Structure 1
């Protein structure tokens, strides 16, 4: 259906129904626009293998939405990157067209956007179009992805294809009585559906919920931004901000009972206290209306105890929504390096990293990634961290990576564990696995444990990094002082990776498109803001209660 034809239909409808617009007409109009959009996208998919000449590429279609230098992309513009950019611009254009005609967007009524959680592992998702398996266990239907089903080594599974279409949630506007998508209207789903107003009927524009406003200032965010600003200015994305989503104290007590008992037997610390910090990086739309989170990282900072002065990069995830797209890799590396610069400034000396990419379909910190997003292999992720370290050495003068773990300096099992063990890290899994296969006791010899560690190090030599984040000119000392004065912002759902993903699942917050990522970012910021306000009120009430008692 052509644009002129739709305009004529709209005019005809106004003549026939001057006082109202029927829902049937609105649905037909939406379906026609959606069909046109789908045909356009299918055409691009069918022709993406064509070798387009440089002068044939309609660059004016993509420059506004994608501020990327052609020469930066080079030959990639003839393949996947160009078509991804072009498809998103097509959707963007159709959405604008639909809004001019009174609709909230041009989205197809039925969408394959629903991802299901795999019962075989936390953070594992079964995406649209993926294969999954079901099996009844004690009267309860369980759903596994192919990978976890194979690991279970059980029979009786039924195979399915996740191709069921479902409606994206729409609510009826209490003012104009039209239906609109919750995502398009940026509606706060913690409120009653009866209060829903579509974007067209809001008296004032939807109030911006920006990371800097919702979460306030923090020393870590300010320090990282001071390091990153010159880089962001150079690549033309000054609209990027860092924010501390949450932080808090954790006692670091070993949760696995067998492991804790064995640690006690060999005089290893049963607890390694740390402060968790959940760091998000956002890009503003440019008009100041919304932020989109594209980078998420959780670190554990050991501020006291046996591991004092060390940092564990616990989880890191991205969602492909950084712009300019061609600069995303170097931007991610710069962000990690900026954190190291901050950590060194407050007294930390090293950072431990295990380069462990998620399997295809899994989520680390973002629920739902773009279908076109590339999953790194273990080798690619290792190369990424190695390059991050090299760039940090050159740009920030840090010491860099220690390629080998020195076993000769350790004269006890406890000493080795103190340096290797991190909460939910690789060594926790390796030691637990060995405990299950072989009964260790307090008589375990140092030599046999060193042999186990050496073999494990050899098996994982390319994915383990110990990064000395001190300046090359810094004076080496054993007297480590942590000077972190940042206020803590504890959270019940942003404190761990599992809780963070559960909250996204609870409200079906996904990051698979810019549209859903915008909404999901807004909702998570609202939830964090509400939690901080509640915590502040409780603290004030406790303070007043103590004053009354005194």
Structure 2
């Protein structure tokens, strides 16, 4: 099986230092042992079947003790929070998470028969969620349509109409030579002739085009970007990943996939089904063997979890037409580009030349309240560095993100390691951008099964979910180079997860710069070893890594990396990279020894000894070994007899599975700390953008924060930094805790996905455990008033 697997799905290309280069690790959720995987639409629930209201945090935490990042302007907080939570619904083709498939001997998967396709949500909750999602998407589309030319930020005093906004002398433009050909030129002069504006231009390169063309009308010119490394009009956007609506497989994962199928008449409405060739063939066979009724039943099954408008009662196969997939150009070091171009432009208020937002590093929220945009050449002459401007500029700087002890320790260790290795580079900035108190819930049938065998098993495992980002300045601008998501199961967590760390996700981009070159692995190893050293000082004992290389074309945390970084890495190469990191940790007396899961659990006596991490492959494998399919549990009535199996037989099957997967997992045993374990005093940190890998990737895709070029990476990093600095608020307006995530117990609305402190809405954890769902006051009011049925939205 391939995919962005748990704990280690690293991919990449040969590193400049002769070792394996890094691409990314999609872990914690991912493809499993065989084939493809079902789509799990909930970014928060991951692999867990929803059996109770969404929860996180702990009870009995006093308000006012929370750390919070710089609040910034909170006026758009509610809208921003809603937009973040809507990503997975808005991006129909983007699967935010993929669940591991079942074990190799399970060829048939049970299908749930409840109203919500097995997700465990009630039909009314699903209806409300769909209506809010549809309304939110409609509002955004209408807003964009009404904006029209609003994508062009015109300088103060200049005409809003581009036909009247003349090109200044010295501006780069593109000249139309025929219906399909444009050539780069520079404006040499402008004049009025017959009441019309005309230009004298000189084609590029000027050394070969001494002749100047005169009398060129405005209509034959279009703007070109003033960035010296751009100088073009069309800046193509990376294509969003496409997924088959039936099997959920990526449509662009292999070069052999050239086409897919969609309905002819529904394409423009955005409600067309998207199907791969294999599924179309399967549906045709279904029609032939079972008739239209059998085909309709199958269509209803696979479309009921899709956004509203894509689900349907039937499908006429004759309406499907073959559509070419976007293809990467041959020998191209770039992601697959769509036919859409970036239409976001800003005009300098000093020289009146035009810039792409990406090329100008233009952050729209920093130009509210009438602040004009000045390009890099004009800003020093025209813009005074006031206190207000200085505060805005700090939002662009990674070093201005609040530092906490864990980040400070890792940053210092990385600096020391690079200095010892005599690597000269711009300093690496490390920041912890998310630290949440979470719970991973055990599948109910697994608990019941263990109890039937006379063994107790925890119903939930509390853990800390943390996210780390690493930055380096390139040409004075921050670039996000590396991302790490981890799960920390501390001493308060019951066995078998107690004092264990799970590496959930890793990702990197190739823009680290040093002298000598080729030390990306050195930096990333240093970050990981420093993190293991930190966890050792906190008293953690074990570190678990899932060695699962990604499939070609998979996205992990960073969106639209270059083609060079999309070449898949073999499992053995990835395994050796991890072993190299662990060997360095051994040399520093951080790791005592490491091995496979089969090595570490050789004396296994019970399945209750196998740790289950949120999103890990074993969270699926263990119930599967018992014959307790998670989907079967949802659809089967509780009166069904539990599967009976001798405990020794189950343990033997688990050991055989570990032997079979011995190259897939690594477990490291940390040395005991030199002193008494420290207390983890790092504060709770929460930003919707970075709290989950799925949301982070989805936001990058929705906003086209791409990493395929250095300039795109610099711009995307700036946008990420501004969102972290100006994070949205939580809870109700009169929140007792300042509308921040402070680690206290919270419940999540099943419709709008916003989170509320339990003590602010009067719900305790015990009460939440008895609730099937929760609707916030706003969504309840909208539902009771009929606002949702009439197209209203909630937040």
Q: TM-score with structure 2 length normalisation?
A: 0.50
| 2:557–2:696 contact (8 Å) kept in structure 1 | yes
| 2:489–2:501 contact (8 Å) kept in structure 1 | yes
- Cross-structure match for 1:344: 536
Are residues 1:309 and 2:510 paired? Answer: no
State how far apart, in whole Å, the 2-side matches of 1:343 and 1:372 are. 34
- Cross-structure match for 1:92: none
SS for the counterpart of 1:518 is helix
- Cross-structure match for 1:246: 434
Per-residue displacement from partner, 1:294-320 (whole Å, max 9, x unpaired)? 111100001222222110000101111
Per-residue displacement from partner, 1:477-521 (whole Å, max 9, x unpaired)? xxx966211011022231222111112122111111111111111
Structure-2 change in CA distance of 1:259 and 1:362 (3 Å) = farther
State how far apart, in whole Å, the 2-side matches of 1:113 and 1:264 are. 54
- Cross-structure match for 2:592: 399
SS for the counterpart of 1:251 is strand
Structure-2 change in CA distance of 1:456 and 1:151 (3 Å) = farther
- Cross-structure match for 1:369: 561
> 1:240 Cα shift?
1.1
Alignment of 1:68-79 (within 5 A): none
Alignment of 1:197-276 (within 5 A): 197=373, 199-200=375-376, 202=379, 203-204=382-383, 207=393, 209-210=395-396, 212-233=398-419, 234-254=422-442, 267-276=456-465
SS for the counterpart of 1:372 is helix
State how far apart, in whole Å, the 2-side matches of 1:339 and 1:199 are. 40
Larger helix proportion, structure 1 or 2? Answer: 1
State how far apart, in whole Å, the 1-side matches of 2:700 and 2:682 are. 27
Matching residue within 384, 387, 395 for 2:577: 384
- Cross-structure match for 1:188: 363
| 2:191–2:198 contact (8 Å) kept in structure 1 | no
- Cross-structure match for 1:452: 653
Per-residue displacement from partner, 1:421-455 (whole Å, max 9, x unpaired)? 11101112324555339999363321222122122
Alignment of 1:424-435 (within 5 A): 424-431=615-622, 435=628
> 1:230 Cα shift?
1.9
Mark the structure with the bigger radius of gyration.
2
Structure-2 change in CA distance of 1:428 and 1:25 (3 Å) = farther
| 1:247–1:491 contact (8 Å) kept in structure 2 | no
- Cross-structure match for 1:502: 698
Alignment of 1:411-422 (within 5 A): 411-416=605-610, 419=611, 421-422=612-613
| 2:547–2:575 contact (8 Å) kept in structure 1 | yes
- Cross-structure match for 1:48: none
Structure-2 change in CA distance of 1:331 and 1:192 (3 Å) = closer
> 1:12 Cα shift?
8.9
| 1:280–1:295 contact (8 Å) kept in structure 2 | yes
User: Can you give the 5+ residue segments of structure 1 that lack an aligned partner in the other structure?
Assistant: 1-5, 37-97
SS for the counterpart of 1:375 is coil
- Cross-structure match for 2:326: 162
State how far apart, in whole Å, the 2-side matches of 1:305 and 1:160 are. 51
- Cross-structure match for 2:478: 291
| 2:468–2:483 contact (8 Å) kept in structure 1 | yes
> 1:183 Cα shift?
0.8
| 2:444–2:459 contact (8 Å) kept in structure 1 | no
State how far apart, in whole Å, the 2-side matches of 1:372 and 1:227 are. 30
> 1:226 Cα shift?
2.0
Q: Which has the higher contact order (CA 8 A, sep 6+)?
A: 2
State how far apart, in whole Å, the 1-side matches of 2:248 and 2:365 are. 24
| 1:117–1:123 contact (8 Å) kept in structure 2 | no
Per-residue displacement from partner, 1:338-375 (whole Å, max 9, x unpaired)? 11011111111111000112211111111111121143
SS for the counterpart of 2:518 is helix
Matching residue within 460, 465, 471 for 1:282: 471
| 1:309–1:350 contact (8 Å) kept in structure 2 | yes
SS for the counterpart of 1:248 is strand
**Alignment size in residue pairs:** 457
Structure-2 change in CA distance of 1:423 and 1:438 (3 Å) = same
- Cross-structure match for 1:64: none
State how far apart, in whole Å, the 2-side matches of 1:222 and 1:103 are. 36
| 2:689–2:723 contact (8 Å) kept in structure 1 | no
> 1:214 Cα shift?
4.0
- Cross-structure match for 2:26: none
> 1:279 Cα shift?
0.5
SS for the counterpart of 1:183 is helix
- Cross-structure match for 1:323: 513
SS for the counterpart of 2:649 is helix
Structure-2 change in CA distance of 1:430 and 1:485 (3 Å) = same
Q: TM-score with structure 1 length normalisation?
A: 0.70
| 1:218–1:244 contact (8 Å) kept in structure 2 | yes
| 2:538–2:679 contact (8 Å) kept in structure 1 | yes
